[in-house]
Structure 1
Amino acid sequence: METVSETSAAARVLAVRPVGTTAVLAELSGLHDVLALQALLLEEPLPGQVDVLAAAETVMVKADSPAAARRMGALLLGMDLAVQSHAEGKLVQIDTVYDGEDLAEVARLTGLSAEGVVAAHTGQIWTVAFGGFAPGFGYMVGENQALEVPRRSSPRTAVPAGSVALAGNYSAVYPRKSPGGWQLIGRTAAHMWDLSREQPALAAPGDRVQFRAVRELVEVAQPAASDTGAADIQSGLRILSPGLQSLIQDLGRPGHAGLGVSSAGALDRSSVRRANRIVGNQPSAAVVESVAGGLRVQAVGDQVLAVAGAPSALTVVTPSDGPDMDGADDGGQPEQVRTVPMATAFALLDGEILTVGAPERGFRSYLAIRGGAMADAVLGSRSTDTMSGIGPAPLAAGQLLAAGVATSSNVVGSPELQPEFPDTGVTVLDIVPGPRDDWFDAAALESLCSQDWAVTPRSNRVGMRLDGTPLSRSRDGELPSEGTMAGALQIPPEGQPVLFLADHPITGGYPVIGVVVDHQLDLAAQVPIGGSIRFRWAPGYGLPTSFSSPDVSQTKVSN
């Protein structure tokens, strides 16, 4: 699919750009039209629509298939945004103490006194235009431009939770302690994100916010953490060692991008489905995702397990003081050791210990337990989002992990063949150009696909940081933050690509030169640290849009 453009009057989508194979980016003339399109899409979703993410000048629409994404271009261009009536969101009042570290600097930048800044901030209604950066972080636009200020030249490494801030035309409240470059003018005790509420975000997109100046804050206690009931677990796994990192993952939580929440979920989705299928679970049952081997678990009660993903040696030990292989406890039996195959159901009897060895190829292994791994669901998913902190904590030694009831069959499945997994050599990944390939010249686009990019140790579930000959931009300036997705190749100013994975930030301000095709994301997730990636333009998607379509006003939707 190529860039689609519309040159007619305002109150319509100006252009539609592909974002990989399963999303499109609609460009609009301003925030008013962004909000109108977002409201339309939420009220009347397009066929195949999965998620909608508004930003300063764009709306990204995620689809459930490449075919649905291809059809969205013409549908978006045909929408009349002028007829959309905005439903007024709820009014949220936020008590604020105006003693921020940057209050005096904001006064200088705006030509107001400190008291004038407070009056301007409290004297208007702010509307949450879109979410991003972190769950509960809402970009709020005011009724005037009196408080327009730039970001700090040097971002802070840690901004306290509850900080009330300004940047550009926006105001926001930091929902949690995090790095940030906004100008801090005050603080609030309001909990902007609380998963115990039916609507976790205190102020969601479309809601209105009124800040009120107060002299002191009333702290509202957070709900007490629920008891996990670990002592009552009668059936499951005891974590003896989590290895380098082991997390509970399922197929993710799509549909919450507007709240600043990414889909997260397992990085190698096909391996999760395979492991669950083998033990007779539902495809979305939670599993344990483990990195680079070293995971050791002990059965609490008899369990049925399967391990898929990176091929590794699987060793089962029956302790000498535990039951023997037929379940009888004879006390003096010596320790027994056996190996079990990958992608095959096997029994781990009460007290037996499974060790997942270092991968022979690939990087991530997936351990499925019949019934699924039990954990509290957050926004409909048990997956751990390492960037936002949503979901279960990483597994720790001594933890008890209960087995659930997420089965789909009374029997286990047959052993399955696994695909080839990458090693420390070169893995080829297909990419779709754009949505911002026009920020790069022909030399940079050629360099992207003519060299091998090394996967550095700074890589994680947020993104793979690559190293090679840097790519140079062909234009200056900054790109307004816009929606992004797993598979996006974002190019920071230093020119070294970052390949976003499942825990990526939902918006970004660096241009995305291309996006890995959706069906190869599982392969990308298995490229080990020290391996290399070579990109190539995906067959059927042509040359980058900036060269194949010099006159975008004539570009049509490509099927």
Structure 2
Amino acid sequence: MVTPRLRPMGERALLAEVDDLAQVVGLHAALAADPPVGVDDLVPAARTVLVAFDPARITPAAVRAWVRSAADAAPDAVTPGPLVEIPTRYDGADLEDTAAVLGIPVAELVDRHTAARWRVAFTGFAPGFAYLVSDDWPWDVPRLRQPRTRVPAGSVGLAGEFTGAYPRETPGGWRLIGTTGAPLFVPDATDPVLLTPGARVRFVPQRSRIPAAPGGDSAGGGSNAAAESSRSELSSRPRTSPPPGVAALEVLAPGALAMVQDLGRPGRAALGIARAGALDRAALRIANRLVGNAETAAGVEIVLGGFRARAVTDTWVAVTGTLAEVRVDGRAVDAYAPVLLPAGAELSIGVARAGARLVLGIRGGVAASVSLGSRSTDVLASLGPAPLRAGDVLGVAEAPDPVPVVDVFPWSVPGSVVEVSLAPGPRADWFTPAAQRALRETAWTVSSDADRVGIRLDGPVLERVRHDELPSEGMRPGALQVPPHGRPVILLADGPVTGGYPVIAVVTDATLDRLAQARPGDLVRFRGV
């Protein structure tokens, strides 16, 4: 019988913690067999299963009762998944050093790795990245002391008790022993992830060069540096012509960064796929309402303003989010109001005077291509449309509702102090009482490391009472991870779905959108735990 320890992960998720990976596998199988309405995601990890739920459809008490009941029925053995063979050339940069660390010949390392019966314990870190374990593998392989800033796509590595393959180029600290061309993650495929939890895996040695897999560079990484790399990849993607839908706007200047966003890809974290979507979801919903769209329609998220576009045909638009000057052919118009752009008119959105992000809603919604159920751009995973650039033409679909008559829409300018509310985190007990007080009492400064993946805050060090390494566990947007340097990092919509740093608290969903407007140098204050 599995007896999970239930830990809160904010107000919309919990971690069910057990003693070992075998119990995780059994518990996850029991939970996945018949989840109740309102449970949106199950994310297995090394010692936990994250259960994400919607409090509007199921109460936290009901979720806890269901998890305990399922744990009582968890099977001792799980039916093996499908067998997947991974062609591998053992030519990794760390092959010889890893064999030396383990005190065995290289040939024995290769033989043991190929003979082992591996299975996917869980996924995470990036779409398509699977953590594989084996009862036949006797070693705990130390990670590199200095992680690489770039690990080539297709690299096969070892770390701890795990082996795995990188779906795309990303930073990483695993020891690289080989390469594969297997299509680990193909976002436009019916089944985009090759290695799913429970699958059996066999590494098949190859002597010839392994060709690159189609779409093998389309998965994500795990840091702000990876986000920058992904953004570069996205920007270099070829455009399709003509655009889908009816041509509405031609981009003249995208500003610092402009990209298509809708409400994202919820419910796919078990495959390593982040929610993504607009950081300021409220601003997107309002922009869509103002032009008669469904709230789920895609708009344009604009970082720091400086955006210009020309109407190809008569087009209704609305600009929401932060404060910036909005003009049509040089004439000032209101934000948070529907505006008709006659064909040929130029829309300009000035530099943001406060806050960080604006949303441009276009009647009909941006008709970008759909990837895994969403038109959102995920900068970490390189999913979705490429960031906009001059010359792009935005197509739109039909709008379901008429443009409403709006005299004035109430809104406020984001301040330089962002206040957000906190709910309990699963690892609050890893920190001293002084750290808990400092978290609430400090005015934290937003550092220059702030993007759609997460925000690093500068301030006092949050001291721990525990200093052991935390096995990887499920993460959520809003989670406050505390790395070894002791300063919190708030994960946002494009952040990784698993992580190995303790989460002291979680920003409530109702106040999470406010962080979309935090810019370097702004202050963040936390209220309530």
TM-score normalised according to structure 2 size? 0.92
Q: Is 1:255 paired with 2:267?
A: yes
Verify the 8 A CA contact 1:120 1:146 in the aligned structure 2.
no
* Structure with bigger gyration radius: 1
Correspondence 1:271-282 to 2 at 5 A: 271-282=283-294
Paired letter, 1:228: T
**Counterpart selection for 2:418 from 402, 407, 427:** 427
Q: Is 1:489 paired with 2:480?
A: yes
Residue identity (%): 44
Aligned-pair distance for 1:472? Answer: 1.6
RMSD, aligned α-carbons: 2.0
Aligned-pair distance for 1:232? Answer: 8.2
Aligned-pair distance for 1:253? Answer: 0.3
Q: Give the structure 2 partner of residue 170 of structure 1.
A: 162
**Counterpart selection for 2:491 from 500, 503, 524:** 500
**Counterpart selection for 1:388 from 350, 358, 381:** 381
Aligned equivalents of 1:81 and 1:148: distance in 2?
31
**Counterpart selection for 2:361 from 368, 373, 394:** 368
Q: Give the structure 2 partner of residue 110 of structure 1.
A: 102
Q: Give the structure 1 partner of residue 24 of structure 2.
A: 34
**Counterpart selection for 1:47 from 37, 48, 66:** 37
Aligned-pair distance for 1:203? Answer: 1.4
Q: Give the structure 2 partner of residue 230 of structure 1.
A: 242
Q: Is 1:124 paired with 2:116?
A: yes
Aligned equivalents of 2:326 and 2:436: distance in 1?
43
Aligned-pair distance for 1:84? Answer: 6.8
Q: Give the structure 2 partner of residue 215 of structure 1.
A: 207
Aligned equivalents of 2:43 and 2:369: distance in 1?
26
Q: Give the structure 2 partner of residue 265 of structure 1.
A: 277
Correspondence 1:489-528 to 2 at 5 A: 489-528=480-519
Count of residue correspondences? 507
Verify the 8 A CA contact 1:97 1:217 in the aligned structure 2.
yes
**Counterpart selection for 2:450 from 459, 465, 490:** 459
Verify the 8 A CA contact 1:13 1:76 in the aligned structure 2.
no
Verify the 8 A CA contact 2:287 2:360 in the aligned structure 1.
yes
Aligned equivalents of 2:67 and 2:30: distance in 1?
10
Q: Is 1:73 paired with 2:64?
A: yes
Residue 235 to residue 99, structure 1, CA distance change in 2 (3 Å): closer
SS in 1 for 2:462: coil
Aligned-pair distance for 1:404? Answer: 2.1
Aligned equivalents of 1:227 and 1:309: distance in 2?
28
Verify the 8 A CA contact 1:429 1:533 in the aligned structure 2.
yes
Correspondence 1:240-251 to 2 at 5 A: 240-251=252-263
Q: Is 1:469 paired with 2:460?
A: yes
Aligned-pair distance for 1:419? Answer: 3.6
Aligned equivalents of 1:54 and 1:115: distance in 2?
33
Aligned-pair distance for 1:289? Answer: 0.5
SS in 1 for 2:276: coil
Structure 2: 5+ residue runs without aligned partners? 217-236
Q: Give the structure 1 partner of residue 183 of structure 2.
A: 191
Aligned equivalents of 1:415 and 1:276: distance in 2?
16
Aligned equivalents of 1:356 and 1:435: distance in 2?
42
Verify the 8 A CA contact 1:279 1:345 in the aligned structure 2.
yes
Paired letter, 1:400: V
Verify the 8 A CA contact 1:120 1:147 in the aligned structure 2.
no
Residue 231 to residue 203, structure 1, CA distance change in 2 (3 Å): closer
Aligned equivalents of 1:231 and 1:136: distance in 2?
29
Aligned equivalents of 1:261 and 1:231: distance in 2?
26
Q: Give the structure 2 partner of residue 331 of structure 1.
A: none
Residue 421 to residue 60, structure 1, CA distance change in 2 (3 Å): farther
Verify the 8 A CA contact 1:165 1:184 in the aligned structure 2.
yes
Residue 466 to residue 341, structure 1, CA distance change in 2 (3 Å): same
Aligned equivalents of 1:221 and 1:358: distance in 2?
41
Q: What are the superposed Cα offsets for residues 19-69 of structure 1, whole Å, 9 maximum, x if unpaired?
A: 111111110111112112222222211331111111100011111226533
Paired letter, 2:30: L
Aligned equivalents of 1:409 and 1:269: distance in 2?
20
Q: What are the superposed Cα offsets for residues 202-252 of structure 1, whole Å, 9 maximum, x if unpaired?
A: 211111111111111352663798872237875211111111111110000
Aligned-pair distance for 1:450? Answer: 1.0
Aligned equivalents of 2:116 and 2:499: distance in 1?
28
SS in 1 for 2:23: helix
SS in 2 for 1:294: strand
Residue 58 to residue 475, structure 1, CA distance change in 2 (3 Å): same
Structure 1: 5+ residue runs without aligned partners? 1-10, 318-336, 539-559
SS in 1 for 2:515: helix
